[in-house]
A and B are shown apart, each in its own frame.
Chain A
Amino acid sequence: MSNTLIFGGMAIVSLFVFMNLGKIKASKNQTGRKNRIHRFKETNQKNIIDSSSKEVTKNEE
């Protein structure tokens, strides 16, 4: 019985920690270091990915 209580409680507390801490961004200590694993190419650090402009002539309109 005590076995179930101890390990069951441990599982519930751990799940609670995971569900809450998991949603928080990692510390600068973790994300700001230079030797991070870079799996992905840089993408949308900002919302606008790319843009292009061209002059519109009257014919095109």
Chain B
Amino acid sequence: MSDDLVTLSVDGVEVSVPKGTLVVDAAKKIGNDIPVFCYHPKLEPVGMCRMCLVEIGLPMRDRATGEPLLNEDGTPQINFGRGLQTGCTVQVSPGMVVRTKTDPVEQARADVIEFLLTSHPLDCPICDKGGECPLQNLTMRHGRGNSRMVFADKLHMEKHVPLGDLIFLDRERCIQCARCVRFQDEVAGDPVIGFHNRGRHLEIATLSEPGFDSYWSGNTTDICPVGALTTADFRFGARPWELTPVATLSPHCPSGSNMTVSTRREAKAGGRSVIKRVMPRQHEAVNEIWISDKDRFVHHFAESADRLTQPLVRKNGKLVAASWTEALDVVAGKLQQAGTAVAGVSGDRLSNEDLFLFQELFRKGLKSNNLDLANGRLAGGDIVAQVGISSGSNLKDLGKGDVVVVVASDLHEEVPVWWLRLKQAAERGAAIVTLNVRGTRLDKYAKHALRYVPGEAVATLRQLVNQSKVETDGQSDDPIAAAAATVGSAGNLVAFYGAEGLTYDETESVAKLLANLLLLKNGDGHAGKKNNGLIPVWPHNNTQGAWDMGIHPSFAPGYKALPEAGLDAHAMYEGAASGTVKALYVLGADPIGDGLMDGRGKLDFLVVQEMFLTATAAAADVVLPAQSWVEREGTFTNAERRVQRYYPAITPVGDSRADWQILAQVGERVGLGKPALAASLVFRDVVKAVKQYKGMDYRSLAKYEKQWPDVGGDDLYYGGNAYENRSGLGQQWVAAAESGKVGMFEVAETAVKSSPGLKLVRTAALYTPGTLISHSAALLGPRMAQPTLSLSTADARKVGVADGNRVEVTANGMTMTATARVGDAPDGVALISGVAYVPGTAVVQIRKLQEEKVA
């Protein structure tokens, strides 16, 4: 037996567990459920609630000789001490004997339940947790059924306290286990709630303004073992047993967070099946059991009253309702008429099936390579295919000796799940190196926080990469050299790169330089090894899939280079304005609304496939109503190249159709043959065309295995209310470096263009207004990011702007108004957040607006 394993017996059953395991976890491994309230496998044990009291005995030893004392029959003598011990704080030791079913233990459990219920209001019939409540379940299992406490002496406290806009607190129901407080401190790193007062009057209070200011607040409701914390969204929405859980994926985030939507048919919605809540679904390699509030609360757009319900065709200058047959005939006819002057842009929130058929329609049906993402911010999909993070990697495995490099990205605002997991990696001992134009939240956990001057990101990164090649002692005053020494000594190396303040071309250079960093040491580098590789911080949930499916002017599906590249999105928009592009197909994107395209220009024909009447759709000749992600099935590929399935959850809105269906029907009309009847069949064609997806099908993507810790199931008290994953863990495709040698990338030297003037850099904010979030009810309204311009104190003085002033910002011909914040930016840089995407760094003009007189 290995030295790291410890054998103990729990109720007579022998179990071997790693050293340092807690008694409750050891018992759990053999299916012995020791009840807990305050303990949670993802949090540090505190032993506050006393529910896990058990008898723990240790083998006795002779004091003089140290030899084990034996009974007459040869069994070791066990000393159980004088009292019960908390199973959640005691670590296992060899020969330990645990008894969990004895009378004193049962008595203790009943007593603890009795105490916890002294002031509990017993309002289970109306409680949102009722039915999936650990307190309710454990009371039924271990409680006495009556109480010696006087009912009339119950303490009455506030029932409905808003902790911010999203979470409500019921002070009577709270059993003071501190799971929420500890989650915010330990896991989320946002210590914005805390205990106030003592004893019976102890209560949870929010310490931030606005209240409960964290992107993770919803998770506290999942791990709350009672109904004290509930979401504003689900308040009185339904009883948990009435809900139908359907597995889905985040429609926003490139991490591919696994979620479950709980649906129910609703009379208020005319008998339709609607989403009642969104909960996390366990995937320990993706999002563990956490989801950000954006994933949890931004789903209402699917049921918005503004959704398009039928095809619209422009007649006499007006968009009027039409039949599908008519609309599709018009689209197919007009696209074919345009000949080679046809082009297509797509959003990156659509499924792989949609994007693949879009590509088939253009390349095979219309014989055009004019295909691109509508708003390509980040390049390097082809580089990720070479040196992307190796399959089987898990950010949870990163720890001491490992290094994570994050370039040009604010992960806390862009992909909160990664921020959370990197923070935890740093706490386990991994060194984080950030390289940004300004300070980000991750800097607090970073070993080296480097800065680059706007426009010089590539040069600075090149310096870092070059110096990492050289062996140094790590003792250097130069921050880049010090960081390079850290990177050079990395055990495992993971590199993230984003697009903050970078142009599209610069992101490509950054990706290549990081790829070289991973490939250093002549092929014996990091790339291709487990827990090593490149992760792009894509803007949306399926940007990776769009690259894989060949939504690119110069790549066919599977990154096959095309002999002749088509127009990129920028060229298409210019072509539309000048008239060289005659027909444009816009799939799930809003280039006019995003300011990328200046109206429809000289286009003969514009077709938009959308959920809402966006600015682009309003200018179109035909608008095809598409279904949202919860109405149909499909697959998304996350930035770690994990292909995952999601399932249909609610009744489709109106006469809308799934994107892949619409595209297949247009395809049929341009001569691509009978459309596929199911998304799974389209995926079969995807697998044939994309060699990286070989071996995948809908069945293999739905495979799952038991994960640790246990969540869901009957033992809700243990891991919280997150759903167990029974719908598939997905499959990661293999990067080229894993199966063969990959050469270094050439990155051309670019002359550093230093131009005078203040540079504008757009920074991300999680709740930046957009089509989906704006159609998602008023819940997040107060939290929405407002346009904000941050300047350094010196720069603010130069342009004569004070904190809180309204300013007009002009850069690259775009004008925005924003509120000024002084002091948060480095010198020479103006940071703007809460606005649509602005690429690169542009010289900015700032004009103070006259204060409006307040009457």
* Chain B binds chain A: no
